[in-house]
Amino acid sequence: MHVTPWTTIKRIFRTGFLNFWRNGFVTLSSILMMTITLFTLGLVVFSGVVLNTTLQSLRDKADINIYFTTSAPEDQILALQNTLQARPDVAQVVYTSSDAELAAFRDRHQNDQLTLQALDELGGNPLGAVLTVKAKDLTQYDAIAQFLEQQQSVGGGGSGSGSGSASSPIIDKVNYFDAAHRAAIDKLQSITDSAERIGLVIIIILSLVTVAISFNTVRLAIYTSRDEIAVMQLVGAGRNYIRAPFMVEAIMYGLFAGLFTLVLYYPITYWLGQQTASFFGDLNVFAYYMGHFFFFFVVIVGTGVVLGAIASFLAVRRYLKI
């Protein structure tokens, strides 16, 4: 009797499905262990999102503030702004006039009448203009700071500073040289680099754990089916025909574990959504999960299926001696 390839495929999948449902305890244990692994993998993804959002927020706050003397001519300040803006390592330079600085100072201390009264008694504006410099990358702040240090020592007027800039420095202070400010930027860069390395290590470890779990699960399934395998060999079943149902069974472990993990994430992210939005600003993990559901489906279910298939292939080659 001739058996078509399609009939063979249907029999393989039917056998795999029967083994999956028949080995209830083994199936449940395997799915639970796989779910723990995939759930942890999902946590790594969520942690990466939260960390990247936090790091991006800190990056946005990282800058260099240049405080000018009250006598600094505006044209020299603007000339320095243009010089900085022309640098390839500078993303943005924002100019705040002395009047705007004074207005902001009054607004911050609107409830401090003693400070405002002392300010009024000065009879003038004691605050100078400010340039806020943002680099394109955190590693570039040091070069910008060195450039500003040179400008500060010679007057800091840029290309259009005029002849008197060398004898009349216009830069009063550059806050990058404050120990706390510089340490914060250096620490931020260190966190960014460490997060990338740790994330890669965790992903590798979890992948190995997933393979190990699937490998041992298939080995147990082979052991429990040893009598059936012997009968199939006696009736002349081919090697691939015997091996394939075990691979189908392992793929189903990963598929069901992945789907169960996705279901678990729904109430968890829903409960944490408002809390993360309050703590991390714009990041709502529930909204992120729903908005990137296809991505999580591919990562979680795809990891379970692919690693389960790889582990089952290795296991049947080693333990299914036919």
SS3 assignment for 90-110: EEEEEEECHHHHHHHHHHHCC
DSSP state letters, 172-187: EEEGGGSHHHHHHHHH
Cα gap 287→270, rounded to integer Å: 8
CATH number at residue 135: 3.30.70
pTM, two decimals, is 0.61
Q: Check whether residue 52 and residue 196 sit in a common domain.
A: yes
Structure tokens at 130: 């400010």
Q: What is the pLDDT of residue 264?
A: 92
Same domain? For 54 and 140 the reply is: no
pLDDT of residue 185: 62
The tokens for 136 are 């394109």
Which residues face 209 on adjacent strands?
A: none
**Please, is 198 exposed, middle or buried when counting C-beta atoms within 10 Å of its C-beta (0-12, 13-18, 19+)?**
middle
Boundary residue ending a domain (169, 201, 231)? 169
- Exposure b/e, 225-258, CB count within 10 A at least 16 = b: beeebeebeeeeeeeeebbbbbbbbbbbbbbbbb
In a domain, 65, yes or no: no
Instruction: Produce one character per residue of 43-55: b if its CB has 16 or more CB atoms within 10 Å, e if not.
Output: ebbbebbbbbbbb
Q: Domain range spanning residue 82? A: 70-169
For residue 159, what pLDDT is reported? 46
Q: What angle do CA 59, 136, 177 make, to 5 degrees?
A: 70
Residues 209 and 313 in one domain: yes
Closest CA to 158 of 90, 70, 85, 64: 85
The two structure tokens encoding residue 314: 């290795």
Tell me if 273 is assigned to some domain: yes
Tally the domains of the chain.
Answer: 2
Same domain for 139 and 255, yes or no, is no
Q: Which residue, of 169, 198, 214, is where some domain finishes?
A: 169
Domain identity same for 93 and 51: no
What is the pLDDT tens value at each position of the chain, 322 positions in all?
455 666 667 766 676 677 666 666 767 777 887 888 888 888 878 877 777 777 677 667 778 888 888 888 888 888 888 989 899 988 889 998 888 888 888 888 788 778 778 777 777 778 888 898 988 877 788 888 888 887 776 655 554 444 444 456 788 888 875 566 567 667 766 776 787 778 778 777 877 876 777 677 677 766 766 666 666 666 666 666 677 777 787 788 888 889 999 999 999 888 887 777 777 667 788 888 888 899 999 989 998 888 778 877 777 776 666 5
182 domain-assigned: no
Do residue 48 and residue 76 come from a single domain? Answer: no
Nearest CA-CA partner of 173 in 157, 152, 193: 152
Same domain assignment for residues 149 and 220: no
E-assigned strands of the chain? 64-68, 90-96, 130-135, 171-174
244 and 313: one domain? yes
Distance CA 301, CA 258 (A): 4
For residues 116 and 146, membership in a common domain is answered with yes
Identify whether 40 is part of a domain: yes
- How much is the pLDDT for 163? 42
Do 47 and 134 lie in one domain? The reply is no
Q: In whole angstroms, give the CA distance from residue 269 to residue 260.
A: 14
Quote the CA–CA distance of 253 and 257 in Å, as a whole number: 6
